[in-house]
Structure 1
Amino acid sequence: MEGTPVRHPLRRRRRPLLAAALCLVVAMAGIGPAAARPSADRGGNSEAEPEAKAKAETESETKTKTKTKVKPKQKGTAAGQFRNPVNTGPDPALVTHEGHYYIATTQGDALRIWRSPSIATLLTAEPHEVWRDSDPSRNRQIWAPGLYKATVDGAEHWYLYYTASDGNDSAHRMYVLESEGSDPLGPYHFKAKVADSGNDRWAIDGEPFEHDGKLYFAWSGERDDGVRNQLFLAPMANPWTLGGSRVHLPVDGNCPEVREGPTPIRNKDGRLFLTYSACDTGKPDYAVWSKSLPPGANPLDPAAWTQEPGPLFSRNDAAGVWGPGHHFFFTSPDGTEDWIAYHAKNTSAYTYDWRTTRAQRIGWTADGRPDLGVPVALGTPVDLPAGDPGPGTTALNDTDPQVTYTGNWNSGSQCGAQCFHGDDHWSEEAGATATIRFNGTRLALLSVKDTGNGIAAVSVDGGAEQRVDFHGSTRVGEQLQWVSPRLEPGEHTVTVRVTGEKNPESGAAFVSVDRAEVYP
């Protein structure tokens, strides 16, 4: 184990990110010279990374990684493109099944799954609440869902693993639901607590994996000496029952305090890679590491595992991506591509807030190791997975001709990688407006939240206004702020009006316009 284990490290506080946020909140954050904005805004804020030095360092580090690059799709084969994020929550589990994507993320109070025929429309998909528990011992702090499909007694079921407590972190244990049929949306019923009956200790982030035809379970738990956030393995008698005692699996990491979120991926030769996240997830250095196991080896023998050099996936300061991890691997709808879903933040601040789920394609090195590449910036166009029906979405920037302004607005590029195309518009003048013209059926607004942001009024096609608070406890860019209702195909307008009002927590009343995602 690298470093000295920390006893009972500060555990991440995964705050609920309720689905209602998808339909309510609009974009905000002032971006401008220090003279025009409160001190918490752009100028001098350490969260305004990355600057030239950080970019140069990151580019230098990237050049030293001799990885095999993923081959781009042949021209004309992509059904379209999308931009991250694909969900506003952290700790994703994302699968493809019978022509749809399904994603579950940490929600805190319940288990919810989003379904969409295209990854491009996951962000605006409606949530399905598949489980809300009445048992007070396990109906709070519900974290880290995991989806696993298995056939039991000739019937196909989905097993939804999760971590929950009574509201006290020390009570966290792992549980699993079973679907009534083969639909990932359920309905589900409670199946079991997943625990080592002879050593029932604090446990989180459990996920099953198969090796040589046998089923095992991996999770992050507490050692006998009280040190938490360590990796453990155990055999499984079935998808809801451990079939033997747990084994501690020592692993390396770039920080000493946390080893969590184990998730498997296997290469074409059958070598198993148990990837995991290291470091406190609130830190910008949260990253993905791995140990590997050859075919025929015993997973319950720690000596059979090989520590892979790491990290495999880590912060990308130049792109404004910090703390990438707690991931899940999935395949494209046609089964030909490997992808990673992961959460990350668009701020380098030490915070558990603002973690959003992103997705990108991965590759393999010449010697058969997973090549996760580097996390791409929010707003970067990504080709849809192979077999995704598309057509994808398009984006409008705040400087595009389709966006017009009345009143006094400032604009600039001081927000760097936190903003789409490195720029945005902002205003505090009551009555100032920004109107976006688009051709489609829906529009989502993404922009910076900030401590100096206020309340806007948003309307569609000149209709009734909806008040949206752009304030955030930390400045962080390209957050989903508001989603329009579904509209008839054709030309529409969305108008953002500055009200000059703010909530009591905000230091100013700025409203900003950055990225508009247009759905055809």
Structure 2
Amino acid sequence: MEPRQQHPPANHPTRHRKEGSTHVRLVLRRRWSALAAGLLIVAAGVGLSTASADTGGGDASTATAKAKAKAKAAGQFRNPVNPGADPTVVHHDGNYYAATTQGDAIRMWKSPSAATLLTSQAHEVWKDSDPSRNTQIWAPALRKYEVDGKERWYLYYTASDGNDSAHRMYVLESEGTDPLGPYHFKGKVADPNNDRWAIDGEPFTLGGKLYFSWSGQRDDGVGNQLFIAPMSNPWTISGGRMYLPAEGNCPEVREGPTPLYNKDGRLYLTYSACDTGKPDYTIWSKSIAPDGNPMDAGAWTQEPGPMFSRNDEAGVYGPGHHSFFKSPDGTEDWIAYHAKNTSTYTYSWRTTRIQKIGWTADGKPDLGRPAALGTALDLPAGDPGPGTKVINDTDEGTGDLQVSYTGNWNSGSQCGVQCYAGNDHWSQEKDATATFHFTGTQLALLSVKDTGNGIAAISVDGGEEQRVDYYGKPRVGEELQWVSPKLDPGPHTVKVRVTGEKNADAGAAFVSIDRAEVTP
């Protein structure tokens, strides 16, 4: 048995990635909590009515406590919930919808439970043939509005011709009321009198008026700064932009602005600071009173920060570029964000995670600390579940929710916080196997990708094998390697066989076994 190529240290050092007057009613907010009940304000060209919601803060009601108890009974899940970055997540009509940066198109995932978002099918909702905007497609943001009596989804995104300097913001409009579309191109979202490099745009409202916020380039050429402009409808900027100075732990980036409202209507415009490739990418915020003027930089208060940052003990680096959404029953606020479990400076391996947030006694958002990958979290209140179950690499045996090995395998805790429960198994012996035994309808494999990893052959219930390359650079853990097809309910096996093969860049042919997520 040859020794395994050693994992690099778990905490060694780690781009910026990265039409006319219309009556509009806000139907669903993706990234902020609703204002006080009954608020109805109509502004020039834009009418916005907001729904009643308890947005957190204060003591929980009996109904809220019951909803949370129900959520806990429905099961638990573990992050990540998507292998992509820059997430937008909404819950609508009994389903979660998530979209992340894909580069060549906009894809969306739909699932009735947060526990099964990771294994849900990708739907390609938009691919553009216009060469000026059909590549480097980043940062989708999904909103629902009623325009002239018709409810439609608006999907905001950033795209270019392949050159970063050409990045601009665009928006799609759905043909009907399905978040999966179909969509048609609605327009470019830009200040026509100052059309500069721009990314990460999305709307917000204050005082009954609609505004657009984004990360753009100042007139002096400095990029990745926050800007705000008024809108006359969900696709049209109707006035000059305003530069919003904002603090951060790094000087180079202010991006991904997204709004969050407390129960009193105060707006917290949260944003990410620092280069997203760095481990110190983090979330900050500026806030403004409900009656403030967003186009007056002096009306904003810089909140102390960071609000949400790296958690070295948990192996979470670079948490940011986020969105907010409500639990299915509306009683909880949740954040969706991307992060890595390597401190290496890289834009690769950013995955989407979700977790519940709270509120302080004085009404400020409390985002907490990012949880380690694999941490068991209660499903959002009102999520029907059932939650997924986990098989660790050390759950050895041939019973339900166990894994059995043949051939020579190493095991240990060298991977530390990059592995589930701090350990994994690995082998490069040809035809060594690891067989997962489970009762359920689907199984997902998550484990280490490494420069010394090779190719596995994976089969279900003794069927045809599928080749899966476990290579990755830099090394990361708890990465989604493979998802089974949907299976009939009942007992099944998934066998991982070491082939001894590797790609040309790999230094060895190891295969890693860490955790499996089982859908009942």
The bucket for the TM-score relative to the shorter chain is 0.7 to 0.9
Look up the equivalent residue of 2:305 and give its one-letter code.
Answer: G
- Aligned mate of 1:306, from 298, 301, 304: 301
Q: Specify whether residues 183 and 478 from structure 1 end up closer, same or farther in structure 2 by C-alpha distance, changes over 3 A only.
A: same
Residues 1:513 and 2:517 aligned together: no
The equivalent residue for 1:16 is none
The separation in 1 between residues aligned to 2:9 and 2:70, in whole angstroms, is: 45
The equivalent residue for 2:29 is none
Residues 1:128 and 2:123 aligned together: yes
The equivalent residue for 2:168 is 173
Residues 1:293 and 2:293 aligned together: no
Higher relative contact order (CA 8 A, sep 6+): 1
- Aligned mate of 1:360, from 355, 361, 364: 355
- Tell me the TM-score normalised to structure 1 length: 0.88
SS in 1 for 2:421: helix
SS in 2 for 1:92: strand
- Aligned mate of 1:318, from 313, 320, 327: 313
Residues 1:116 and 2:111 aligned together: yes
Write out per-residue CA displacement over residues 269-296 of structure 1, whole angstroms, 9 at most, x where no aligned residue.
Answer: 1100000000000000000000000011
Q: Specify whether residues 502 and 207 from structure 1 end up closer, same or farther in structure 2 by C-alpha distance, changes over 3 A only.
A: same
The equivalent residue for 1:8 is none
The equivalent residue for 1:456 is 456
Look up the equivalent residue of 1:37 and give its one-letter code.
Answer: R
Q: Specify whether residues 156 and 44 from structure 1 end up closer, same or farther in structure 2 by C-alpha distance, changes over 3 A only.
A: closer
Look up the equivalent residue of 2:489 and give its one-letter code.
Answer: P
Write out per-residue CA displacement over residues 56-92 of structure 1, whole angstroms, 9 at most, x where no aligned residue.
Answer: xxxxxxxxxxxx9999985564211111011110000
Look up the equivalent residue of 1:488 and give its one-letter code.
Answer: D
SS in 2 for 1:362: strand
How many pairs does the alignment contain? 467
SS in 1 for 2:86: coil
The equivalent residue for 2:445 is 445
Gap runs ≥5 in structure 1? 1-31, 50-67
1:69–1:363 CA contact under 8 A, matched in 2: no
The equivalent residue for 1:388 is 383
Write out per-residue CA displacement over residues 342-395 of structure 1, whole angstroms, 9 at most, x where no aligned residue.
Answer: 000010000000000000000001111100000001100111111111011010
The separation in 2 between residues aligned to 1:85 and 1:77, in whole angstroms, is: 19
Q: How does 1:370-381 map to 2 (within 5 A)?
A: 370-381=365-376
Q: How does 1:359-508 map to 2 (within 5 A)?
A: 359-401=354-396, 402-508=402-508
Q: Specify whether residues 495 and 95 from structure 1 end up closer, same or farther in structure 2 by C-alpha distance, changes over 3 A only.
A: same
- Aligned mate of 1:159, from 154, 161, 186: 154
Q: Specify whether residues 464 and 454 from structure 1 end up closer, same or farther in structure 2 by C-alpha distance, changes over 3 A only.
A: same
SS in 1 for 2:426: strand
Write out per-residue CA displacement over residues 290-310 of structure 1, whole angstroms, 9 at most, x where no aligned residue.
Answer: 000001110000000000000
Cα drift, residue 431 of structure 1: 1.2
Residues 1:347 and 2:314 aligned together: no
The equivalent residue for 2:33 is none
Q: Specify whether residues 44 and 120 from structure 1 end up closer, same or farther in structure 2 by C-alpha distance, changes over 3 A only.
A: closer
Q: Specify whether residues 118 and 75 from structure 1 end up closer, same or farther in structure 2 by C-alpha distance, changes over 3 A only.
A: closer
The equivalent residue for 1:13 is none
Q: Specify whether residues 454 and 47 from structure 1 end up closer, same or farther in structure 2 by C-alpha distance, changes over 3 A only.
A: farther
Q: Specify whether residues 350 and 84 from structure 1 end up closer, same or farther in structure 2 by C-alpha distance, changes over 3 A only.
A: same
- Tell me the TM-score normalised to structure 2 length: 0.88
1:206–1:218 CA contact under 8 A, matched in 2: yes
Q: Specify whether residues 97 and 199 from structure 1 end up closer, same or farther in structure 2 by C-alpha distance, changes over 3 A only.
A: same
Cα drift, residue 37 of structure 1: 2.9
Alpha-carbon RMSD: 1.7
2:374–2:420 CA contact under 8 A, matched in 1: yes
Q: Specify whether residues 76 and 329 from structure 1 end up closer, same or farther in structure 2 by C-alpha distance, changes over 3 A only.
A: closer
Cα drift, residue 473 of structure 1: 1.5
Cα drift, residue 432 of structure 1: 0.7
The equivalent residue for 1:7 is none
The equivalent residue for 2:92 is 97
Look up the equivalent residue of 1:309 and give its one-letter code.
Answer: P
